Structure 1
């Protein structure tokens, strides 16, 4: 299947490009300058996507600077809300299914259990509010869509928590890491596999309403940021790579412009039941990513 994906450099885009051929798909990234979500030009977005003749579209490009969004709300909403809506309108005009990526930040981050798709939303910052508006715009413009909320994304590509921890451990013996926020670490490579399966399901079963709407898709299992860091360092140390002691700290010890969800856990049972997609345990996927990053470091030396 020919799958257009918005964006060029994001973790999920690069993961789709890498994993697509083995799954039998042609991945067609479309980004700036041809496709500019901040430009507000729906006709240009539709033309850019139509030019690659997709059979499905993955809406992966987004404004993801969580803290900066607090001072750039107009830009965040232009990309994450209006831009996402334009992509959905393009998918509807082209008559192809859409998979749109969203985030746990649409929730308040409170509570003691994993969030379900039918739980009330309540974002606490601009980023989450803009992504929630994007979900609504997508589902309104293209009913033939699956919106996939994910969280704590990492990969061998781009900037992410795993790469940051390994970089810091190369020069520090101890690192303070937040221990009172809990979530589901999720490999972008696993997200790519899940996205392709969902896109294929939408294309193969055009009248199955259970495949459409809101879903949660994260790695299996949960941990805190401190627990995540400890697992990163354990995997790295086992390969002779950098490691550090983790000093657990509270959210209040690490203030940020945007509030972080204390509870980012997402319940993915609906996705498993409808699409047959369940991402691997985060520890298994993490081991593979850390090993790959260590190999890259060896090759660079």
Structure 2
């Protein structure tokens, strides 16, 4: 199921998207804060973190067996989508993790994952402006995000996948010049609003194979990244095992699994983000995430 966070009449809460409007029918969602919400939600606070902690996959399976009361439904057009997890824990990113990206950049293949941490405060939702500090070289990075559902510490690969409760689209906007100047990721990955996430979290039970998904990005309609998660070098179970050996992973943390070929520096001329552009990401089965860019 597609789990969302949204704002309606000045209040933010979690919900479940029931239909999309490709068929011409109005898109509807379950209001997770409505008194007549389905029984599996009745004992839970209407926040994504509460739902994740309760077990997102279990909620998905239970909700699929229920016809919701019409009183708790809202049209998607009446709400404003937020980041599905408005305040995640930490974002653990993987650098140099796509074979096609390594090839086009002439980088050696790393022998183990290269990870960094991005602050939860960088996360923003669909349609939110990416503020661009002028004079910098800033790139987009289309990524598959895996959401951690249960605590993981020193977790082996064989059980790592069971800690993932869902998937979303993530744009790891990065200040490339800062990464190069610093020889590290902290400053270049942690500028304001550099973590667009959304448009929803698809529960893990609805993604049969996270390593067989088309992943694409365009800027103002011009395709700049087009690949597949099959190009991932270290898979999600390897990333979780590696990261959890070095730090605890908690419910609501995000594993950003890396980006394929086509980042700004791969193009001639380089396709650094500019004022007035719109960046749109698409991942098969996960939808579309789009954000405008405005220089500040």
Higher strand residue share: 2
Larger RCO (CA under 8 A, 6+ residues apart): 2
Higher helix residue share: 1
TM-score past 0.5 threshold: no
